[in-house]
Amino acid sequence: MGAVMTAAPASPLKLFNSLTRSLEPFEPVHPGEARVYSCGPTVYNYPHIGNMRAYVFADTLGRTLSYKGYKLTHVINITDVGHLTDDADAGEDKLEKAAAERAQSIWDIAKHYTEAYWADVKALNIRQPAHWSIATDYVPAMIEFAKTIAGKHCYELEGGLYFDTTTVADYGRLARHGTDEGESRIDPVDGKRHPADFAIWRKTPAGETRQMEWDSPWGRGAPGWHLECSVMSEALLGFPFDIHTGGIDHREIHHPNEIAQNQAHGCSDASGARMWMHNNFLVDRSGKMSKSSGEFLRIQLLIDKGYHPLAYRLMCLQAHYRSELEFSWDGLGAALTRLKRLVMAAASARDAEAAAPTDRRVTDLLAKFDAAMSDDLNTPVALTLLEETAAMKKIDAGQKRAALAAMDAVLGLNLLTTARSDLRVRPKTATIGEDEIEATLARRKDARAAKDFAASDALRDELVAAGVDVMDGDPLGWDWQPGAN
């Protein structure tokens, strides 16, 4: 089924730039193009669901830019070297530490967790970026970049090469250092001239060997974490590029440091990227998001408990990306129900031949949807418009299909390709199979029809004991859902 042109997107795209703390019109550096760099995962462990919120956000931004007609080049990096256990210069390299603890090679660890991350990317219907840039592939380029700034902007200490943050104008303006508490979080390293100075190159201490080390003019060692993003973004997108994204924590240290490096490197634009955008955090009051807790919250855990991963995507979209989002299993369950309703409502249009929207009701909804997404990615409003569209009655199915397809291309919920049955994920702990669940439900339905409520309750208890909740009175006629957590 070919794509059908929907109403021309009319609202100008406005995005919140963390640099100015204000909404700004998106004006591409290269007309008709959008170049976006997103800080990627550090692959020493599985990503938690909060980390994945950052990529759902970056993907929503990318999809919106594509929908607005820009030719998108998106880069997400994979950090397999340099990220210390503390974002500043304290602690150990996260990958070296994981490798030592597990007596494994760093390369095996990085490969395993990169693949696990990619599985989550796929499960959440996050589009593939143009490039997945792997930090260790760029170490020679990082050394070349460092050479260009070493003379004027860096000094050497026992531990390696450090960036002098007073050599660039306005250091930390992104974080609003001085007004925020950003700087106080930075641990001192002996000999650093200023607390905020940071490592460009970390020398391997004498007598030690590391699994990952390279020769450099500043001794054998490894690059500082901030360097990689400056180098890979310049290499793949060119300075200045349009938008740099990351979680809100990166606004404090990592991104100010990238900006300082870019400035020192002589980037013609003051910061390397014109806009810096940050998603707020997913918070979990139970503490289960910490990777050090045994059963920590990751996408696979949601699936194991019977939640389709797109319910988590929907949960993210229900909040604006700049708002904190609190995770709860009830909230996830509600998002799953909402997704089921949407899939069922969209079903009537799924098999229709898409037709250009001409009906006023459809074109109005499309215009409102465009306005919502253009307003700094207002996904909570966009979702309600998607629902209104899906719920439209007495409407040409082809037009409805075209409108739903256009909206879903932005929201990425796979509404037109997901079947209701796809959203039933059998919990891993359920001790009975899907067929048996269906058979028990059928027997229960018969018992209820015969008003034998004792038998019906017994069958229900049987299912609950097996890890499956029965949804009586479910207006969708959805018979079962994941068991209580």
Backbone torsions φ then ψ of 312, nearest 5 degrees? -70, -40
- Nearest to ligand AMP of 53, 177 (CB atom): 53
Judged by CB under 6 A, the stretch of 51-59, 68-76, 149-157, 373-381 that binds ligand AMP is 51-59
Judged by CB under 6 A, the stretch of 47-55, 215-223, 382-390, 413-421 that binds ligand AMP is 47-55
d(Cα 454, Cα 221) in Å, to the nearest integer? 71
What is the pattern of x (binds ligand AMP, CB under 6 A) and - over residues 266-285?
-------------x-xx---
- Nearest to ligand AMP of 264, 325 (CB atom): 325
CB 471, min distance to Zn ion, A: 43
d(Cα 298, Cα 78) in Å, to the nearest integer? 18
- Nearest to Zn ion of 135, 345 (CB atom): 135
Tokens of 113: 């967790």
Max CA separation in the chain (angstroms): 87
Residue 129 found at the interface with ligand AMP (CB under 6 A): no
Residue 246 found at the interface with ligand AMP (CB under 6 A): yes
Residue 214 found at the interface with ligand AMP (CB under 6 A): no
Closest C-alpha among 337, 292, 278 to residue 48:
292
Residue 306 found at the interface with ligand AMP (CB under 6 A): no
Only one residue has tokens 């938690």, namely: 48
CB 323, min distance to ligand AMP, A: 11
Residue 41 found at the interface with ligand AMP (CB under 6 A): yes
d(Cα 130, Cα 480) in Å, to the nearest integer? 40
Dump the DSSP string for 46-113. Answer: PPPHHHHHHHHHHHHHHHHHHHTT-EEEEEEEEB-S--BSSSSS-S-BHHHHHHHHHT--HHHHHHHH
Tokens of 399: 């037009």
Interacting residue with ligand AMP among 33, 86, 249, 462 (CB under 6 A): 249
CB 324, min distance to ligand AMP, A: 9
Residue 247 found at the interface with ligand AMP (CB under 6 A): yes
Contact assessment for residue 226 and residue 258, using Cβ atoms and an 8 Å cutoff: yes
CB 407, min distance to ligand AMP, A: 25
Q: How many residues interact with ligand AMP (rule CB under 6 A)?
A: 14
CB 285, min distance to Zn ion, A: 28
d(Cα 243, Cα 28) in Å, to the nearest integer? 9
Q: Which does 45 bind (CB under 5 to 8 A by kind): Zn ion, ligand AMP, none?
A: none
CA 143, chain centre distance (Å): 29
Which residues does residue 223 pair with via DSSP β-bridges, in sequence order?
201
SS3 96: helix
Contact assessment for residue 235 and residue 272, using Cβ atoms and an 8 Å cutoff: no
CB 54, min distance to ligand AMP, A: 4
CA 247, chain centre distance (Å): 9
- Nearest to Zn ion of 200, 229 (CB atom): 229
Judged by CB under 6 A, the stretch of 13-21, 244-252, 295-303, 430-438 that binds ligand AMP is 244-252
- Nearest to Zn ion of 229, 343 (CB atom): 229
Q: Which does 229 bind (CB under 5 to 8 A by kind): Zn ion, ligand AMP, none?
A: Zn ion
Residue 250 found at the interface with ligand AMP (CB under 6 A): yes
Closest C-alpha among 15, 56, 62 to residue 37:
62
Residue 175 found at the interface with ligand AMP (CB under 6 A): no
Tokens of 142: 């990082």
Q: For the chain, what's the residue count?
A: 485
Contact assessment for residue 20 and residue 273, using Cβ atoms and an 8 Å cutoff: no
CB 59, min distance to ligand AMP, A: 13
Q: Which residue ranges make up the site for Zn ion (CB under 5 A)?
A: 39, 229
Dump the DSSP string for 428-443. Answer: TT-SS-HHHHHHHHHH
Interacting residue with ligand AMP among 6, 17, 18, 42 (CB under 6 A): 42
* DSSP designation for 128: P
Contact assessment for residue 286 and residue 279, using Cβ atoms and an 8 Å cutoff: no
Residue 86 found at the interface with ligand AMP (CB under 6 A): no
Judged by CB under 6 A, the stretch of 48-56, 420-428, 437-445, 466-474 that binds ligand AMP is 48-56
Residue 401 found at the interface with ligand AMP (CB under 6 A): no
Tokens of 352: 């229709």
d(Cα 238, Cα 264) in Å, to the nearest integer? 15
Tokens of 238: 């060119």
Residue 223 found at the interface with ligand AMP (CB under 6 A): no
Judged by CB under 6 A, the stretch of 49-57, 118-126, 403-411, 431-439 that binds ligand AMP is 49-57
d(Cα 5, Cα 477) in Å, to the nearest integer? 35
Per CB under 6 A, residues contacting ligand AMP are: 39, 41-42, 50-51, 53-54, 246-247, 249-250, 279, 281-282
